[in-house]
């Protein structure tokens, strides 16, 4: 009885667990309580949105499953590199996954560039070497009876997950090259939108950065608080990875590159082209073409003005012609995006319209790519309204003409990397606008247009179609091709039968100049009306289903119509091939450049007639001159590459029509190029601008935000400064250390008799610049010529006293010799009997002579 009583008392204190209401566990009740009243967003991932909570619901089978993460700027500030719609990780999606550790969910970034064959010792070594980065983490707050875990991911996305803070800091910076001060302000940031589709989930957040600088871009409503919306897209990877196509350096695709450490007897790098998955839906027909299982379809968003839709649709579908060479019928299609469909759905590749205060790119075609295989999964192209308006109306931008030279040759490493990825810069917008102004002026000059008329619809449609074909090409995987213009003979540019069949240039991936005939001649096609021969060839390589056939296709690089050269070949001081240029035309860029420069020089005296109508402000003349002078400099820019230049070829050993990798530009062509630069830039009569035209250069007197009513601080136009800017930029490129080094190398490789030598270059340049004082008795020197001579003296003295790094010793020695010779000539000009120089000229020559003397003394001291 005693034991029974004790047992009874023990039972009184044993805790009794009662069933939860509805049979739910406590964890499940907690789950339901957290999501009570929340908006459920289901799709690829499931989220519950409630107040300042964003719960991510994860199942066990979603853990450790790899997917991709992309970032875009959903809404920027319309300036300073923060433009709505631009991708932050173009072509390089982050490979991510959710991991469960210690009752937490870890959001990790998985390294994907380094690989080895699964199961090999090298694979184990890779796994040991390259670890995952933890992007974010959160506690599991509840788990329901079905095993669904709930974590609050709000702070993951309302934060700096995208690293946008770096761009924001650059946007507010007041110190060139240095980041500005701006801090993320969580209290002013929130989730704007969550949407989920079968293959992807998108989250958009409004972030605010507190600007700690004294000022900010004018497009910000309150410069203290910079707003930027980030669009995160989390998307599934194809369950069955696409079979990759290996890249080939003879033709231009964007690439997904892995470093494979498996011992294969070959190099480590595995380079895959970026391309859409395109497969035949059955055998080919009698025409040798098959229908694709899933055509590549682009959708035009309804934000695009109706005026441009037909040309843009035609620009998309023009690519179907190229895919016929790959064996596909109607492979590329264009449709309007249904109003019921979101452009955020990864299943729909789109063309979208964008407006900005300060244009940043003109147009851009980024893609979402599977980092395992290079398969293109989605693309959302952007087109800026400002560029399209520039096609139709007068373009205004206070662009400095010398940038036409500098942005080709003075390219930073950062800019070059961006260009390699197909990213457009502000210069592209500037170029298209100044091209439109040049075209307008040419059409006025030949009587095709009258002052005040809008641009011909034919020009607008061709420009819009070309831009669309170009951006679609990027989203098909293609890089720029800046050599394609050389596939068209100079005398065929205005042969519409030729250009209609072959194109004004053989690839729409070029950056062309508008095709304008000389005065008195009939203009042909302004831009390509369809894809070119290179485009068909490169698409046939990338998209033919037959790998073996692709290898044979690549060997045809030396065939006519397959010319290829890309960004790193065309820009920078190291650009070596005068056939690879942005914004030039024909197989002879030098002759074309002279033709274009002559056309523009002939326009200078007539600019007021073209720019002014009754009651028009005089600054229209100023803007028009500045715009066409920019194009004048652009036309001469390729001439520099001929000096010490080499033609480069991509063909491999044994390819049909194979040529040596580098061939010298013939000596006669180098001489011709040097003389072209002298005649059109450094000669006394290079610029023929009548006084009565200069006198009509008016000032923009609008004074409000969005307008600048001065030119570099001047109300009147700084003519001397801008003329000298173009001359100095060309001179600095001719005397660039890389070019001087290359000249010495070409003397060894091809013989000094086959190249313009450093003495010949410096001698020709000096004689042209100092022509007024070169021989007795001399003549008076005009003001802009004195400026040029001082700039030349600065350049030569720098070579003697403080030569830039990399300058060959021979160049310094020849510069000293050149200065000594010039000094002797100036001394003779100033020795009685003396020409009756005006005071300006006499003072200038005396000062120049004294500067040379001091430089030679200083240079001798430094060298000894």
* 606-661: pLDDT as tens digits: 888 888 887 888 888 888 888 899 999 999 999 999 999 999 999 999 999 988 99
For 498, what's the count of Cα atoms within 13 Å in the CB-facing half-sphere? 15
Given a cut of 90, whether residue 754 has pLDDT beyond it is: yes
Average the pLDDT over 659-665 and give the result. Answer: 94
Each residue's pLDDT tens digit, 484-503: 999 999 999 999 999 998 89
Q: Residue 455: pLDDT band by 50, 70, 90 thresholds?
A: confident
Q: Read off the pLDDT band of 2 (50, 70, 90).
A: very low
pLDDT band (50, 70, 90) for residue 72: confident
- The pLDDT, as a whole number, for residue 8 is 38
**Strand order, beta sheet including 114-115:** 114-115, 255-260, 269-273
Convert the pLDDT of each residue in 190-239 to its tens digit.
Answer: 999 999 999 999 999 999 999 988 887 777 888 899 999 999 999 999 99
Q: What is the dihedral of CA 286, 288, 291, 293, to 10 degrees?
A: 130
Q: Report which secondary-structure segment, H or E, holds 290.
A: none
Query: What average pLDDT does range 808-823 have in this prediction?
Result: 97
pTM, entire model: 0.90
Which pLDDT score is estimated for 779? 95
Please answer whether residues 106 and 98 qualify as being in contact, where contact means their C-beta atoms are separated by less than 8 angstroms. yes
> Are 275 and 541 within 8 A, CB to CB?
no
Cα 282 to Cα 854: distance, rounded to the nearest angstrom: 82
What is the average pLDDT value for the chain, to the nearest integer?
A: 89
pLDDT given for residue 14 in this prediction? 46
Using pLDDT thresholds of 50, 70 and 90, give the confidence band for residue 398. Answer: low
Give Cβ neighbours of residue 571 (< 8 Å, ≥ 6 apart): 408, 409, 411, 416, 419, 582
| Torsion region of 561: left, alpha or beta (phi above 0 gives left; psi -120 to 50 gives alpha) | left
DSSP letter, residue 127: H
* Band of residue 5 on the pLDDT scale cut at 50, 70, 90: very low
pLDDT of residue 539: 98
DSSP letter for 544, please.
-
Q: Is residue 300 pLDDT above 90, yes or no?
A: yes
Q: Could you tell me which residue, 448 or 386, shows the higher pLDDT?
A: 448
Residue 356 has pLDDT above 90, yes or no: no
Residue 63 scores a pLDDT above 50: yes
- Quote the pLDDT of residue 363: 67
What's 66's DSSP letter?
-
C-alpha 124 chain-centroid distance: 39
DSSP H helices, 802-838, are 809-829
Query: Can you give the pLDDT at residue 768?
Result: 97
Looking at residue 562, its pLDDT comes to: 97
The whole-number pLDDT of residue 180 equals 84
Residue 387 has pLDDT above 80, yes or no: no
Contact 768, 822 (CB under 8 A): no
Q: What is the pLDDT of residues 145-176, one digit of tens each?
A: 999 999 999 999 999 999 999 988 988 888 87
Q: What's the pLDDT at 150? A: 96
Position 616 scores a pLDDT of 82
What confidence tens digit (pLDDT) does each residue in 569-615 have? 999 888 999 999 999 999 999 999 999 999 999 999 988 888 888 78
What is d(CA 440, CA 513) in angstroms, rounded to the nearest whole number?
14
Per-residue confidence (pLDDT) for residue 547, from 0 to 100: 94
Q: What is the structure's pLDDT at 619?
A: 83
């Amino acid at each position: 009885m005693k034991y029974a009583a004790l047992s009874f008392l023990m039972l009184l204190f044993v805790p009794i667990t009662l069933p939860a209401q509805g049979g739910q566990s406590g964890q499940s009740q907690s789950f339901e309580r957290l999501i009570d009243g929340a908006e459920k967003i289901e799709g690829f991932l499931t989220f519950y949105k409630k107040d300042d909570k964003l719960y991510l619901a994860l199942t066990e089978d979603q853990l450790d499953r790899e997917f991709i993460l992309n970032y875009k700027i959903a809404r920027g500030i319309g300036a300073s590199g923060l433009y709505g719609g631009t991708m932050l990780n173009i072509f390089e999606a982050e490979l991510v996954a959710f991991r469960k550790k210690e009752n937490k969910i870890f959001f990790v970034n998985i390294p994907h560039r380094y690989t080895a064959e699964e199961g090999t010792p090298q694979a184990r070594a890779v796994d040991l070497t390259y670890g995952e980065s933890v992007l974010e983490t959160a506690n599991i707050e509840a788990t329901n009876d079905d095993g669904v875990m709930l974590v609050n991911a709000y702070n993951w996305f309302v934060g700096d997950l995208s690293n946008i803070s770096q761009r924001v800091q650059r946007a507010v910076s007041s110190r060139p090259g240095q980041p500005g001060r701006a801090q993320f302000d969580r209290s002013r940031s929130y989730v704007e939108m969550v949407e989920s589709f079968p293959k992807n989930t998108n989250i958009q957040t409004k972030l605010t950065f507190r600007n700690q600088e004294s000022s900010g871009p004018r497009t910000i409503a309150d410069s203290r608080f910079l707003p930027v919306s980030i669009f995160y897209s989390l998307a599934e990877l194809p369950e069955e990875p696409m079979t990759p196509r290996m890249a080939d350096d003879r033709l231009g695709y964007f690439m997904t590159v892995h470093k494979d450490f498996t011992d294969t007897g070959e190099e480590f790098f595995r380079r895959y082209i970026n391309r859409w998955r395109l497969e035949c839906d059955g055998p080919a027909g009698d025409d040798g073409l098959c229908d694709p299982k899933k055509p590549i379809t682009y959708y035009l968003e309804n934000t695009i003005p109706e005026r441009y839709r037909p040309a843009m649709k035609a620009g998309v579908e023009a690519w179907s012609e190229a895919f016929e060479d790959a064996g596909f019928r109607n492979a590329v299609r264009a449709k309007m995006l249904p109003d019921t469909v979101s452009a955020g759905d990864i299943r729909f590749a789109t063309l979208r319209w964008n407006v900005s205060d300060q244009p940043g790119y003109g147009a851009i075609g980024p893609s979402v790519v599977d980092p395992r295989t290079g398969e293109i999964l989605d693309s959302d192209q952007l087109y800026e309204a400002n560029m399209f308006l520039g096609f139709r109306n007068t373009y205004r931008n206070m662009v400095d003409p010398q940038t036409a030279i500098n942005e080709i040759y003075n390219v930073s490493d950062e800019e070059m990397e961006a260009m390699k990825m197909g990213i457009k810069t502000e210069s592209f917008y500037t170029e298209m606008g100044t091209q439109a102004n040049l075209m307008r002026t040419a059409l006025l000059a030949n009587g095709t247009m009258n002052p005040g008329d809008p641009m011909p619809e034919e020009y607008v449609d061709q420009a819009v179609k070309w831009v669309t074909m170009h951006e679609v090409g990027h989203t098909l995987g293609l890089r720029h091709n800046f050599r394609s213009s050389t596939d068209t003979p100079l005398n065929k540019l205005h042969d519409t039968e030729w250009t209609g069949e072959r194109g004004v240039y053989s690839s729409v991936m070029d950056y062309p100049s508008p095709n304008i005939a000389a005065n008195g001649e009939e203009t042909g096609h302004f831009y390509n009306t369809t894809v070119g021969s290179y485009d068909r060839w490169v698409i046939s390589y990338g998209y033919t289903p037959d790998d073996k056939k692709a290898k044979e296709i690549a060997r045809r690089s030396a065939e006519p119509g397959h010319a290829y050269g890309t960004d790193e070949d065309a820009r920078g001081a190291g650009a070596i091939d005068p056939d690879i240029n942005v914004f030039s035309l024909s197989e002879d860029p030098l002759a074309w450049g002279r033709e274009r420069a002559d056309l523009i020089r002939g326009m200078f005296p007539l600019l007021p007639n073209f720019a002014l109508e009754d009651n028009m402000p005089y600054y229209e003349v100023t803007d028009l001159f500045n715009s066409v002078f920019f194009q004048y400099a652009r036309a001469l820019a390729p001439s520099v590459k001929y000096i010490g230049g080499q033609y480069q070829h991509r063909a491999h050993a044994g390819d049909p029509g194979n040529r040596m990798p580098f061939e010298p530009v013939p000596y006669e062509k180098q001489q011709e190029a040097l003389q072209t630069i002298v005649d059109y830039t450094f000669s006394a009569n290079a610029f023929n601008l009548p006084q009565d035209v200069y006198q009509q250069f008016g000032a923009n007197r609008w004074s409000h935000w969005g307008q600048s009513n001065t030119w570099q601080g001047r109300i009147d136009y700084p003519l001397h400064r801008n003329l000298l800017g173009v001359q100095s930029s060309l001179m600095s490129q001719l005397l660039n250390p890389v070019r001087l080094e290359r000249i010495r190398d070409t003397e060894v490789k091809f013989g000094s008799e086959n190249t313009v030598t450093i003495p010949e270059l410096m001698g020709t340049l000096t004689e042209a610049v100092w022509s007024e004082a070169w021989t007795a008795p001399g003549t008076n020197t005009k003001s802009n010529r004195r400026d040029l001579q001082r700039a030349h003296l600065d350049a030569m003295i720098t070579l003697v006293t403080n030569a830039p790094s990399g300058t060959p010793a021979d160049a310094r020695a020849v510069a000293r010799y050149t200065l000594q010779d010039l000094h002797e000539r100036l001394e003779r000009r100033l020795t009685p009997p003396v020409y009756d120089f005006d005071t300006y000229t006499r003072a200038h020559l005396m000062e120049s002579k004294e500067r040379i003397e001091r430089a030679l003394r200083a240079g001798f001291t430094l060298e000894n």
